[in-house]
A and B are shown apart, each in its own frame.
Chain A
Amino acid sequence: MPDRSVRLRVNRAACSGHGLCAELLPEFIALDEWGYPLIADAAVPARLARAARRAVTDCPALALRLTGAG
């Protein structure tokens, strides 16, 4: 079965380390020592879906996207 889980993916070349995503999704995204996102390699839990969509919209570099259903 293809993976239909909702995942948060970052365009690494576009990401410039603003860090909004980590503020909006502290349970799911951490920042490394250089300010770049460490995103959990798991499906986005339903309760975080709204925050995840907001992170995608708010990222100043438009570097985030949600894959899968939803």
Chain B
Amino acid sequence: MTATNRAEIGHPAVPGEPGLPRLLPSRAHAQGVLEPGLDLVAHSRRHGRAGIRGSALIGQVDAAGLTGRGGAAFPVARKLSAVASAGGSPVVVANGAEGEPVSSKDAALLWFAPHLVLDGLQLAAEAVGARTAYLYMHAGRDARGGPDLPSHLHAAMAQRAAAGTDRATVQLIEAPPRFLAGEETALVSLINGGPARPADKQHRPFQRGIGGRPTLVQNVETLAHLALIARHGAAWFRSVGTRTEPGSMLCTIRESDGQVRVAEAALGTPLSWLLRLGDEVQAVLSGGYHGGWLTLTDARRVALCNAELRPAGAIAGAGVLVALPAAHCGLAETASVARSLALESAGQCGPCFNGLPAIAAALAELAQPRPAGRALANLQRWAGLVTGRGACHHPDGTVRFVASALSVFGAEIAVHARGRCTATRSDLFLPVTAPALAESDWR
């Protein structure tokens, strides 16, 4: 998370949108950095007491239509009920390991509203009958001197311990900086002492997870929304957003000039209100590296909701929105990301660790300004071969990203075939993770 990120957080996505922001600090920054949310008293003053608890809370969450904010958008009430009725001694995990290099909304939320997340964690634990909880997150320390999130959260947890508010014990677990580290079963595997690699879905975490116990895994943002529903109820939650996709969500927005900020927007907000979509923008990526590209025309037309994004070949996902400048080559960017996604494979499933590299190499051919022979035909074949044939959705998400690129940058493919390229810059715009080649990188 860069300094630019932190400076611009809390800026309402739509000036004047009533009721926003809910999760992020409401006061605009004076200069430089906003206060990290370590004031427990201020937190209580702003949000009040959580009156709706236990099974009543599950009912309100259901009525609110809250879905997971980690990207998969699974109905939260269904997960809560499943774990609550699973028996045994359940466990709850707050999942803050966003994994995507282009996403920093979980880091921002943990920095600015840790108590909201921790409230949500306690409330969810209470609702499912859990006394043990985990907070799973990336360390957040990077070469650029990003914030020390673990220390920050430890401080928040210490404040709560002093206040004696929490019933479930919370343990902070550092996730390795892998793209797949935040996948539910990968998270369970790591906390169980193994590598952060996804597992076969025969037994899902809500049935058998950490220590073999029923485990509720929820994104940190989801828990923050839950904490607010516990105070204000379902009708309040639904007062923004759309009928089928209610509420608000955090977005990581990367403008075409490279500026990054995290903002909170109501579902259904037009993308043009969230990003600058002038003619300097070539295409928009929505949903991160498992999401999809949108043409500039489509981006100007659609809103932030799956109902409009999916038909256009993208997803809302975890709210990543990137405006690709026209000066860059969309195919080169896609090839670079596809390469990093291939290297982020857990190396378990043949179709994934063979297919994604093959796809990445074919894209690299298309990214060259020369005829690419059978690369395109091979890409179509491999895309069909890997979808649905992994233990997790890494191949599927990668194929969605690549397929949307072939569509959106189709004209560029033809240009490259004639030996040219419309880009004027040869450096890369999209950030990618460094390859992890040692077993220790997964633990």
Are A and B in direct contact (Cβ within 8 Å)?
yes
1/0 contact string of B386-416 vs chain A (CB within 8 Å): 0001110000000000000000000000000
Pick the residue among B197, B202, B349, B354 that contacts A15 (CB under 8 A). B349
Bound-complex Cα distance A33 to B348 (A): 17
State whether A36 touches B351 (Cβ < 8 A): yes
Does B200 reach chain A (CB closer than 8 Å)? Answer: yes
Contact call A13/B198, Cβ cutoff below 8 A: yes
Cα distance A32–B358 when bound, in Å?
14
| Cβ A34 vs Cβ B391 within 8 A | no
Does A5 interact with chain B (Cβ within 8 Å)?
Answer: no
Tell me, yes or no, whether B199 is within 8 Å of chain A by CB.
Answer: yes
With A32-B385, A35-B350 known as contacts, the answer to whether A12 contacts B355 (CB < 8 A) is no
Could you tell me if A34 and B349 are in contact, using CB atoms closer than 8 angstroms?
no
Q: Once bound together, how far apart are the Cα atoms of A2 and B380, in whole Å?
A: 34
Kindly state the separation between the CA atoms of A15 and B233 in the bound complex, as whole angstroms. 47
Nearest CB in chain A to that of B388: its residue: A41
Q: Chain A residues in contact with chain B, CB under 8 A? A: 9, 11-17, 32-36, 38, 65
Those of B172-210 within 8 Å (CB) of chain A: 197-200, 202
- Chain A residues lying within 8 Å of B346, measured Cβ to Cβ, are 13
Known interface pairs A11-B200, A13-B197, A13-B346; 10 further A-B residue pairs with C-beta atoms within 8 A, sorted by A's residue number:
A11-B202, A12-B389, A12-B391, A13-B198, A13-B199, A13-B200, A13-B348, A33-B385, A34-B350, A36-B350
Tell me which of B197, B199, B200, B389 contacts A36 (CB under 8 A): B389
Q: B interface vs A, CB < 8 Å? A: 197-200, 202, 346, 348-351, 354-355, 385, 389-391
B349-A32 in contact (CB<8A): no
Which residues in B have their C-beta under 8 angstroms from that of A65? 202
Nearest residue, chain B, Cβ from A17: B350
Contacts of A9 in B (CB 8 A): 202
Q: Which residues of B contact A12 (CB under 8 A)?
A: 200, 348-351, 389-391
- Given the complex of chains A and B, what is the CA–CA distance between A34 and B202 in angstroms? 24
Q: Which of A13, A32, A33 is close to B391, meaning CB atoms less than 8 Å apart?
A: A13
Q: Which residue of A lies closest to B198 (CB)?
A: A13
Count, A-B residue pairs, CB within 8 A? 41
Closest to B347 in A: A13
- Looking at chain B's contact residues, is the secondary structure mostly helix, strand, loop, or mixed? loop
CB contact under 8 A between A34 and B351, given known A11-B202, A11-B391, A65-B202: yes
Q: How far is the CB of B252 from chain A (nearest CB, A)?
A: 30
Q: What's the Cα separation between A35 and B391 when bound, in Å?
A: 17
8 closest pairs, A vs B, by CB? A36-B350, A13-B391, A11-B200, A13-B348, A34-B354, A12-B349, A12-B391, A34-B350
For A32, list chain B residues within 8 Å (CB).
Answer: 350-351, 385
Other-chain contact of B200, A14, A16, A35, A38 (Cβ < 8 Å): A14
A15, B350: Cβ atoms under 8 Å? yes
Whole-angstrom CA separation of A58 from B350 in the bound complex? 20
Which residues of A lie under 8 Å from residue B354 when comparing CB positions?
34, 36
Which residues of B are found within 8 Å of A17, using beta-carbon distances? Answer: 350
Residues of A near B198 (CB, < 8 A) are 13
Q: B390 contacts which chain A residues (CB < 8 A)?
A: 12
B contact residues around A38 at 8 Å (CB): 389
Q: Distance in Å from the Cβ of B210 to the closest Cβ of chain A? A: 18
19 A–B contacts from the bound complex (CB under 8 Å)? A11-B391, A12-B200, A12-B348, A12-B349, A12-B350, A12-B351, A13-B198, A13-B349, A13-B391, A15-B349, A15-B350, A17-B350, A32-B350, A33-B385, A34-B355, A36-B351, A36-B354, A38-B389, A65-B202
The answer for the CA separation of A13 and B351 in the assembled complex, in Å, is 10
- C-alpha spacing A68/B349, complex, angstroms: 24
CA gap between A35 and B198 in the complex, in Å: 21
- Shortest Cβ distance from A33 into chain B, in angstroms? 8
| Chain A positions within 8 Å of B355 at CB level | 34
The distance in angstroms between the C-alpha atoms of A15 and B81, with both chains bound, is 33
The closest CB in chain B to the CB of A34 belongs to: B354
B354 closest partner in A (C-beta): A34
Q: Which residues of A contact B349 (CB under 8 A)?
A: 12-13, 15, 36
A9 to B201, CA, bound (A): 11
Shortest beta-carbon distance from B363 to chain A in Å: 18
Chain B hits for A36, CB < 8 A: 349-351, 354, 389
